[in-house]
Amino acid sequence: MNLFVSFVCTTGFEVDALEYDYSASIECLTHPLKPQYKGGIIKNPELNNGVEGWTSFGDAKIEHRESSGNKYVVAHSRKKAYDSVSQNIQIEKDKHYTLSAWIQVSKGNVLVTAFVKTRTGSKFGGAIFAETNCWSMLKGGFTAEESGPAELYFEGNDTSVDIWIDSVSLQPFTEKEWSSHQDQSIEKIRKRKVLIQALNEEGKPLANANVSFALKKLGFPFGSSMNKYILNNKLYQNWFTSRFTVTTFENEMKWYSTEAVKGKVDYTTADAMLQFAKQHNIEVRGHNVFWDDPHYQPSWVPSLSPTQLSSAVEERVKSVVSKYKGKLISWDVVNENMHFSFYESKLGKTFSGKIFNEVHKIDGQTTLFLNDYNTIEEISDGESSPARYLQKIKQIQSYAGNRGIPMGIGLESHFSHAINFPYMRSSLDYLGATRLPIWITELDVASQPRQLQYFELALKEAHSHPMVRGIVMWTAWSPQGCYKLCLVDNNFKNLPAGNVVDKFISQWKSNKLSGVTDKNGFLEITLFHGDYEMEILHPNQKNNTFTQILKVTPSDKSNQTQPLVKLQIK
């Protein structure tokens, strides 16, 4: 019997909701793009009808202008940060709002922030560093906590600049619609239709053949951090390896762990953990080469002179990167250096770019990550906002020799409060416009009334985003307890958060991964990307059961068919 297997890409997933627009721009353009959703609930979004619908906010004066055929509004004569332009809107409680606008300023490079003023306060909408002579896209969002009148306005702390506004959009979505976006995206980006035709030895269609698929390895990397306690705990090992395909060592690869005493480098624990991971086909993220937080340096490092520190840094890079060259899927090169600057303060502002360069020279095929927190978690943390994050990426890339090195975006995702899902999604949109791979690297949710619900929703939001390439949770078990979120008890029985994880994993291990070929020998089925063991059973064949490993991979082009896989049974 001959079995022919071909693949057809999924073309989409029909839903009733308005499709979410994941696009964003990080380029400063001569002309702004059209407003998303045709402006949504915003009146006169392109300012083609003068300032209709728009009013002055604070003491600013507003003026309608036109340049090269493009019409926009300008807020000038500003005295306070919030003196700008605004529009009255109506919002509905619990709806998710996605916001976008194109901003320009009269001089310099200025942070401009969008807010929505309600009866009870102001909600952060998003922020962008606007420039002069070109337009920058601000993308953000919020969830309404009340219904009623509100006012969209913009702020800029530098009151000496005029703020130009154009192509504004504010689009509401219900929770059901928001969830449908996730389902639609998962169908489109994480799955592929597989078309199978079974033929007998004469090349004729084989009808009524039973075909089943068992997932052996998931194509999307999903995992948890782990620590040294896994090495001697069989229960821990069994629980972990039955679920995850990727991990990050909690502390064991960090400098303070591998060289607690100057000159005495010890990789014994990290080596054992790496060997364990490899034995179970679990990929490892390298965490980390350096950590910029002054509180987490080897005890002997802070007292070093700049010259001594520079030498120690060089030795650290050569030591750890050379040792694990080619053995890791990524490196967190300089951890949390948007919030801290231990090395920059002693060795100069180009430290990050230099270290990325040196790591790349040693381990040229491994993706190098900028890893930090609060980029998608905390709207009030301006240090690591998406706009700041992009600035840092450009700074690293601008270092001599760094152009074109493989870089990645590491978003820790330690959620401390209620999750602003429109802001999370829009931030991923904006950073995704870099076309660099995005990983959720340390996901957890702090204790709060809706902790488990937020945890489950955050996993789905991340998994459904087109630019997210993997998820690692910061949920390592230890006898002393977990960081913020425990998945299991000390007997490795699932706690409620562990049940959330198993529910999340279950989507990939559906019981419906089987079917029967039609009269022409065809079977079409949609599968998540990954490696499957395919079993074909036909009662009328002499050797009636056949198996083959099947790889279902993403496609860069719609409807692109994978090369034909042929199985010949003699």
Alpha-carbon span 498 to 490, nearest angstrom: 13
Verify whether residue 412 is a known catalytic residue. Answer: no
Q: How far apart are CA 528 and CA 510, in angstroms?
A: 10
- What amino acid occupies position 544? N
Say which of 259, 442, 456, 461 is annotated catalytic: 442
- For residue 547, which of 282, 211, 279 has the smallest C-alpha distance? 211
Residue 275 parent element (H or E): helix 268-279
Question: 259 with 235: CB under 8 angstroms?
Answer: no
Distance CA 313, CA 310 (A): 5
Q: Which residue is catalytic, options 336, 358, 377, 412?
A: 336
Tokens of 59: 């003491």
Q: Give the helix ranges, DSSP H, for 415-538.
A: 421-432, 451-464, 496-506
Between CA 558 and CA 539 the distance in angstroms is 37
| C-alpha pair distances (Å), 323 with each of 95, 374, 469, 471 | 51, 31, 26, 25
Number of Cβ atoms within 10 Å of the Cβ of 439: 27
Q: For residues 167 and 430, what is the distance between their CA atoms, to the nearest angstrom?
A: 17
Catalytic annotation present for 14: no
Half-sphere exposure of 29 (CA within 13 A, CB side): 17
Paired tokens of 362: 């040693």
CB 194 within 8 A of CB 7: yes
| 506 burial type by CB count under 10 A (0-12 exposed, 13-18 middle, 19+ buried) | exposed
Residues assigned a catalytic role: 336, 442
